């Protein structure tokens, strides 16, 4: 079952969108994602991860009906920034902030996006450690096999609290809009079925801090599509079950016979 990639989106600190990513002219900034999809008050209340995921959702659905699209949100560690704040409140014996508590769930971004888009379609939020990106794509494949029209897959992670984990990586979010329609040359690329034990693509060009993000595979996938390459992408670059996927460029349809 081949999936069509209709759009991709990326966010990293200093990389607001695909164009900046492709240009390599990354800004030296730690500014949070714009997440223009969210109303300003909601945006202020949201965590860095929710903003990053909402931002990429906004990028990949810019040309589709946001009230109808199904979505898969994926993150290995989830809302760890909110976790740190709530642990601080627990330690101080304070009442937990209701906004922070309701924003601490793994599906915080999915909920905020569905609310602002008036979207009552199926949305899910998953985690699968180093296989998170691959399993998100598998969910999308299952949904498209079941007959939904389009699925937005948005993956991202922010660093766990430094007091609880020695892991260090740069935050990132990346995603795709997929459908299962026959290729007609209008898509950006095609994804083949996921495979296990895939040979990994060489991602040595990525900075170590980006490479170490559990959702790095989503960025590799977006990057491959944006650079119009046909490649086998390793989606679990740090271990996991070695899931991979073949990305092929869409071929324009043959000219009609005279």
Partner 1 sequence: MDRAPPIAVVDFAAVSACGPTREDLAAALLGGRSGLRNADDFGLPFATAVGALPFDLPAPTSDLPCLQPRIARMVAHLLASLETPLSRARRGFGDRRIGIALGTSNAGMPETESADRHRRATGALPLTYDFAAQHAYDGVVMATRELTGIAGPGLVVSTACSSGAKAFAVAERWLRLGVVDAVLVGGVDPLCQMTLRGFHGLGVLSSTACRPFAAGRDGISIGEGGALFLLQRQGTAMAHVCGVGESSDAHHQSAPHPEGEGAALAMQRVLDRSGLRSSDVDHINAHGTATPLNDAAEAKAIAQVFGNEVPVVSTKGYTGHLLGAAGAVEAAIAIVCLRDQFLPASLGAQDGDATLGISINTHSRQTRLRAIASNSFAFGGNNACVILGAP
Residues that bind partner 1 (CB under 8 A): 1, 76-78, 83, 86-87, 90-91, 93, 95-98, 101-108, 110-112, 114-115, 117-132, 135, 138-139, 141-143, 145-148, 160, 163-165, 167, 194, 196, 241
Q: How far is the CB of 63 from partner 1 (least distance, A)?
A: 21
Q: How far is the CB of 238 from partner 1 (least distance, A)?
A: 10
Q: How far is the CB of 30 from partner 1 (least distance, A)?
A: 23
Q: Which residues contact 124 (CB under 8 A, 6 or more apart)?
A: 71, 72, 73, 107, 110, 139
Measured from the CB atom, is 114 or 170 closer to partner 1?
Answer: 114
Measured from the CB atom, is 59 or 108 closer to partner 1?
Answer: 108
Measured from the CB atom, is 18 or 50 closer to partner 1?
Answer: 50
Measured from the CB atom, is 21 or 77 closer to partner 1?
Answer: 77
**Does residue 218 come out as left (phi exceeding 0), alpha (psi in the -120 to 50 range) or beta?**
alpha
Specify whether the CB–CB gap between 81 and 49 falls below 8 A. Answer: yes
- CA 223 to CA 202: how far, in whole Å? 13
Q: How far is the CB of 56 from partner 1 (least distance, A)?
A: 17
Measured from the CB atom, is 6 or 72 closer to partner 1?
Answer: 72
Measured from the CB atom, is 19 or 87 closer to partner 1?
Answer: 87
Specify whether the CB–CB gap between 157 and 49 falls below 8 A. Answer: yes
- CA 240 to CA 170: how far, in whole Å? 20
Q: How far is the CB of 59 from partner 1 (least distance, A)?
A: 20
Q: How far is the CB of 32 from partner 1 (least distance, A)?
A: 19
- Decide: residue 250, CB within 10 A, 0-12 exposed, 13-18 middle, 19+ buried: middle
**DSSP secondary-structure letter at 9?**
E
The string of DSSP codes covering 136-166 is HHHHHHHHHHTT-SEEEEEEEE-PPPTTT--
Specify whether the CB–CB gap between 157 and 136 falls below 8 A. Answer: no
- Neighbour tally for 83: CB within 10 Å: 17
Q: How far is the CB of 223 from partner 1 (least distance, A)?
A: 24
Measured from the CB atom, is 15 or 155 closer to partner 1?
Answer: 155
- CA 180 to CA 190: how far, in whole Å? 10
């Amino acid at each position: 079952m081949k999936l069509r990639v209709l759009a991709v989106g990326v966010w990293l600190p200093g990389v607001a969108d695909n164009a900046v990513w492709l240009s390599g002219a990354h800004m030296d900034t730690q500014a949070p994602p714009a997440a223009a999809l969210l109303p300003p008050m909601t945006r202020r209340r949201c965590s860095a991860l929710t903003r990053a995921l909402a931002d990429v959702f906004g990028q990949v659905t810019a040309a589709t009906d946001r009230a109808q699209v199904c979505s898969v949100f994926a993150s290995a560690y989830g809302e760890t920034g909110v976790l740190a704040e709530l642990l601080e409140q627990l330690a101080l014996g304070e009442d937990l902030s209701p906004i922070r508590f309701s924003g601490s769930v793994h599906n915080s971004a999915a909920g905020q996006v569905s609310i602002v888009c008036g979207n009552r379609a199926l949305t899910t939020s998953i985690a699968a450690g180093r296989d998170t990106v691959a399993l998100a794509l598998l969910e999308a494949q299952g949904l498209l096999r079941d007959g939904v029209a389009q699925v937005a897959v948005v993956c991202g992670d922010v660093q766990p609290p430094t007091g609880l984990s020695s892991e260090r990586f740069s935050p990132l979010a990346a995603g795709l809009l997929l459908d299962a329609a026959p290729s007609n040359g209008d898509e950006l690329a095609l994804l083949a079925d996921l495979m296990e034990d895939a040979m990994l693509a060489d991602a040595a060009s990525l900075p170590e801090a980006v490479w170490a993000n559990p959702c790095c595979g989503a960025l590799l996938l977006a990057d491959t599509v944006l650079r119009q390459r046909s490649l086998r992408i390793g989606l679990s670059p740090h271990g996991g079950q070695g899931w991979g996927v073949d990305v092929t460029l869409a071929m324009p349809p043959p000219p009609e016979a005279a």
